[in-house]
Chain A
Amino acid sequence: MDHGHAETERAAHDEQELTLGEKLYLREAIKGMAIVARHFWKNLFGFRDNTPEVLDRGGTGVNLVTTLNYPEEQKPYPPGYRGMHRLVPRVDGRPRCVACYMCATACPAQCIYIEAGEYDDQAIEKFPIRFEIDELRCIVCGFCVEACPKDAIRMDTGTHAPAVLSRPLAVFDKEALLSGAPVELSSDSMTYRAPLQTVSPMGKNEGGKKMGGH
């Protein structure tokens, strides 16, 4: 059957006489109203599962409203989401960062600024005195995370960079970035001369002389 013929068939079907039942329209109207009423009662009496993780709100006794009331209810980002950066601390609170500048070099937006300092501890020689990320310049490409040899910078905070009211507030310094769970890799122990102490207030163990003439 050629295409044109099928088209005429379709048109003939569309324009065919309505049955009397359809012409009266009352049945169609009542059917439509019944559907709307079903939704109404289901949503009025149904239990609203307001956990953000629930995307498909089907099932008996559950209402059909899929809207999240945004500021009060937030859906978490998916696990692979490249969120705001964080500097990963060691178990004692010091940053894992060894100020190698590889993230700053890899960054295409040049939003990372690092000033290195030196530990007395010979095993880990360097640490960042200043580590700042301008979240307004960041293009969230994740190259810094890829470049880091020490797993010291991550984008796993599960949140986006917060809105700020002035540009300087979007520059996050080391203290602001040093958050989240500490990470200890078994290969780390080779780099420590003495066993690490338990978690202590930040900065206590960062004693040592700075590099450069600050």
Chain B
Amino acid sequence: MDAIQTPQSRLASRDIPTAAPVKRTVGNWLGWQIGGWAAFFAFLLGLSGVLLGVVRLLAGFDEKKNVAGGLWESVGNILILMLVFVMVLATLLTMADRKWSALMQDRVGPNRARLPGIDSPLAGLPHIIADVLKMLFKEDFLSAGAAKQKLLFNLGPLLAFGPAFCLFAIIPMSPEVFFFGKRISLQVLHLDWGILYVFALASIGVFGTALAGWSSDNKFALLGGLRASAQMVSYEVTLGLTLVGAFIAYGTVRLDLMSELQGATEAAMRMGGADPSLLFGWLPPWGIFMQPLACIFFLVAAMAEIKRTPFDTPEGESEIIGYYLEYSGLKSGLFLIAEYVETVVVAGIVTAIFLGGWHLPWIEPALCSALDNLWHGNGAALLAIFQVFGFIVKLIFVIWVMFLARWALPRFRYDQVMHLGWKMLLPASLANVIISAAAYLAGGHEMLAIVGLVEIVAFCGYVAFWGKTPAAETPDAHGAHGAADPHAAPAAH
């Protein structure tokens, strides 16, 4: 450097501070991936063991050791499944919704809250505590209009939350199994009328939203309440009809029996070897293979029934705020958490009816005999832990699919919701009932599975090839083209 330079050349010279060195964290990332997933699945497996273990401890007070469904076992199930498992899962889902949506939209998601003394975002988990504290300590505001119907106003959130919460009682999370000296199962209610309980209680939920909408004395809330009641009543019909095919396939409405029929029986598991319940020797007899369309229809109808996006016209945050517009504090929180509890319940029903419930495909008898060799006589009990683990994993997967739909699809217009429910899903599910009944009469489960596989192949073909949107045309190209032959684009396919 011979002379004082121009600012530009000086900026290019070397005495400018250099940029921060490049950090390479690939090894760190790999460690977190492997460690994180291992910890996640180990946690779920441990959770399965704890669920079964606590129920077994409480069931020890029951007298009959060889019969499941005693009083103390039910108490244990209510405590551990409904008060702990569902509530904790629903609370975690509020966070998962925010974090998963962030991942789906290339964002980071909430990560600013910290626990005292821990300088790590912990994947945003401290935000749950912050959210709950906010809900607890917010003012419970009662608007002048709502004060006129205080009783009904307060009844709204209770009627929305209560039925949703009670629904989980009939979800079977484990088989009836001889678990270390006592026969237990992770299911609160063993009802003969099983799935009808779901339909009955789900209808009660309408009262909550309708009451909330009306007693708020607010036009937007009333609109939301009206939309909610119309939508929920409409989809109730489809919800029931989609499952009729499943009733035909299993010959029962009991959820625990339905789950049991989708895999190896208890006796077959003791035998070891190949799974005798496999159709054609390779296909697990799961509902999704015998009733694939019913599975999709049920999921769609259930998402409309619990008012999840894209069927959230009753809430519609961007147009009418929805039926819970006038609520604040803990009552508003009850509405919000009810939605997540309903999500868990719907995912549980889909898992139990269509995804084989607690059954692990293909490996159950072999795994059972292997575990029996490991700890003699307790193979079925150890297998039950893996089965509960399998149920939880399937449950989380279905919830994830529902969130996927929520963040991928825009909200339907109100008339589109009605159109979809009455003019598309209802006839389609009726057709499904007729086809399933005919197939079952013609060839039992095998024929149902063949029809199901054909449906799956046809559906995949439809998704992949048929009815493709024509490639986007530029305005110029279309102008020149359209003048010569206005029907060129429709004729292309």
A27 CB contacts on chain B under 8 angstroms: 462-463, 466-467
- Which residues of B have CB within 8 Å of A31? 463
Q: In the complex, which of the residues B1, B405, B489 contacts A16, with contact meaning CB atoms closer than 8 Å?
A: B489
What per-residue 1/0 map shows which CB atoms of B1-18 lie under 8 Å from chain A?
Answer: 111100100111001110
* Interface residue B490 (Cβ < 8 Å from any Cβ of A): yes
Give Cα A47 to B26, complex, Å: 7
Shortest C-beta distance, B97 to chain A (Å), equals 13
Report whether B19 and A76 are in contact in the complex, using a CB–CB cutoff of 8 Å.
yes
Complex interface: chain A residues within 8 A of B107 (CB)? 65, 67
Q: Is the CB of B409 within 8 A of A32?
A: yes
Question: 8 Å CB contacts to A: which residues of B11-36?
Answer: 11-12, 15-17, 19-20, 22-23, 25-26, 29, 33
Beta-carbon contact of B33 and A45 below 8 Å: yes
Is the beta-carbon distance between B3 and A187 smaller than 8 angstroms? Answer: yes
A208 to B28, CA, bound (A): 56
Q: Is A64 an interface residue (CB 8 A)?
A: yes
**Inter-chain contacts of A150 with B (CB < 8 A):** 4
Q: Answer whether residue A44 sits at the interface, using C-beta atoms and an 8 A cutoff.
A: yes
Q: Is the CB of B4 within 8 A of A187?
A: yes
In the bound complex, residues from chain A placing their C-beta under 8 Å from that of B480 are: 1
Q: Knowing A20-B467, A67-B108 touch, does A37 contact B493 (C-beta < 8 A)?
A: no
Is B105's CB under 8 angstroms from A29's CB? no
Interface centre among A20, A36, A67, A185 (most CB of B within 10 A): A36
Whether the Cβ atoms of B467 and A51 lie closer than 8 Å is no
CB of B2 to closest CB in A, whole Å:
6
Complex contacts, B468 vs chain A, CB 8 Å: 21
Please tell me if A194 contacts chain B, counting CB pairs below 8 Å: no
B88 interface contact, C-beta 8 A = no
**B17 lies within 8 A of A181 (CB):** yes
Q: Give the residues in chain B near A51, CB-CB below 8 Å.
A: 20, 22-23
A10–B475 Cα gap in the complex (Å)?
8
Query: Would B408 and A66 count as touching, CB distance under 8 A?
Result: no
Q: How far is the CA of A39 from the CA of B105 in the complex (A)?
A: 7
A32 and B408 contact, Cβ closer than 8 Å, known pairs A43-B106, A69-B111, A158-B17: yes
- Tell me which residues across on chain A come within 8 A of B463, comparing CB atoms: 26-27, 30-31
Asked if B427 is at the interface (CB within 8 A of a chain A CB), the reply is no
Which residue from A10, A17, A50, A181 sits with its C-beta under 8 Å from B478? A10
Would A21 and B467 count as touching, CB distance under 8 A?
yes
Q: Is B407 an interface residue (CB 8 A)?
A: yes
- Known: A10-B478, A27-B462, A40-B103. Is A185-B1 also a contact (CB below 8 A)? yes
What residue in chain B is nearest A36 (Cβ atoms)? B408
Contact with B along A148-166 (1 / 0, CB 8 A): 0111000011100000000
Q: Which of A19, A22, A39 contacts B103 (CB 8 A)?
A: A39
For A148, the closest partner residue in chain B by CB is B4
Contact with B along A131-146 (1 / 0, CB 8 A): 0000000000010011
The answer to whether A35 touches B408 (Cβ under 8 A) is yes
A52 lies within 8 A of chain B by Cβ: yes
Chain B residues, CB < 8 A from A181:
15, 17
Judge if B100 is at the interface, Cβ distance under 8 Å.
Answer: yes
CA distance A22 to B468 in the complex (A): 8
Kindly state the interface size class of chain B when it binds its partner.
Answer: 35 or more
Interface residues of B in 190-207 (CB under 8 A from A): none
Proximity bits, B379-415, A CB within 8 Å = 1, else 0? 0000000000000000000000100110111000000
Contacts of B467 in A (CB 8 A): 19-22, 24, 27
- CA A67 to CA B112, docked complex, whole Å: 14
A13 within 8 A of B: yes
Please tell me if A12 contacts chain B, counting CB pairs below 8 Å: yes
Q: Does A80 contact B (CB under 8 A)?
A: yes
A123 on interface, CB distance cutoff 8 Å: no
Residue A120 interfacial (CB < 8 Å): no
In whole angstroms, what is the CA distance A158 to B20 when docked? Answer: 11
* Interface: B267 (CB within 8 A): no
- In the complex, which residue of chain B has the Cβ closest to the Cβ of A155? B7
Q: Nearest Cβ distance between residue B410 and chain A, in whole angstroms?
A: 9
Contacts of B483 in A (CB 8 A): 1, 9
B444 proximal to A (CB < 8 A): no
- Nearest to A80 among chain B residues (CB) is B11
| B318 interface contact, C-beta 8 A | no
Contact between A9 and B478 (Cβ–Cβ < 8 Å)?
A: yes
Write out the residue numbers on chain A whose beta carbons fall within 8 Å of the beta carbon of B33: 45
Q: Which residue of A lies closest to B405 (CB)?
A: A33
Q: Tell me, yes or no, whether A79 is within 8 Å of chain B by CB.
A: yes
B122 at the A/B interface (Cβ < 8 Å)? no
- A145 vs B1: C-alpha distance in the bound complex, in angstroms? 18
Q: Which residue of B lies closest to A44 (CB)?
A: B103
B362 to chain A, nearest CB (A): 25
Least Cβ–Cβ distance between B241 and chain A, in angstroms: 18
A40-B103, A67-B108, A151-B4 known; A6-B479 Cβ under 8 A? yes
Q: Which residue of B lies closest to A3 (CB)?
A: B479
Interface residue from A6, A17, A43, A186 paired with B475 (Cβ < 8 Å): A6
**Which of A48, A66, A186 makes the CB contact (< 8 A) with B1?**
A186
A22: chain B residues at CB < 8 Å are 467, 469
Interface status of A203 (Cβ within 8 A of chain B): no
Contacts of B409 in A (CB 8 A): 29, 32-33
Q: Is A183 an interface residue (CB 8 A)?
A: yes
Q: Which residues of B contact A48 (CB under 8 A)?
A: 29
- Tell me the bound Cα distance from A76 to B22 in angstroms: 12
| A15 interface residue per 8 A CB criterion | no
| Nearest-CB residue, chain B, relative to A57 | B106
Q: Nearest residue in B to A8 (C-beta to C-beta)? A: B482
Partner-A contacts on B (CB < 8 A):
1-4, 7, 10-12, 15-17, 19-20, 22-23, 25-26, 29, 33, 100, 103-108, 111, 296, 401, 404-405, 407-409, 424, 462-463, 466-469, 475, 478-480, 482-483, 486, 489-490, 493
Where the two chains meet, the residues of A that have a C-beta atom closer than 8 Å to any C-beta of B are 1, 6, 9-10, 12-13, 16-17, 19-22, 24, 26-27, 29-33, 35-37, 39-40, 43-45, 47-53, 63-67, 69, 76, 79-80, 142, 145-146, 149-151, 156-158, 180-181, 183, 185-187
* Given A12-B486, A67-B108, 13 other A-B residues pairs in contact with their CB atoms under 8 A: A10-B475, A21-B466, A22-B469, A26-B296, A27-B463, A29-B408, A33-B404, A33-B409, A40-B103, A51-B20, A76-B20, A80-B11, A185-B3
Which 6 A-B residue pairs are closest in the complex by CB-CB distance?
Answer: A21-B467, A36-B408, A32-B408, A43-B103, A64-B106, A33-B408
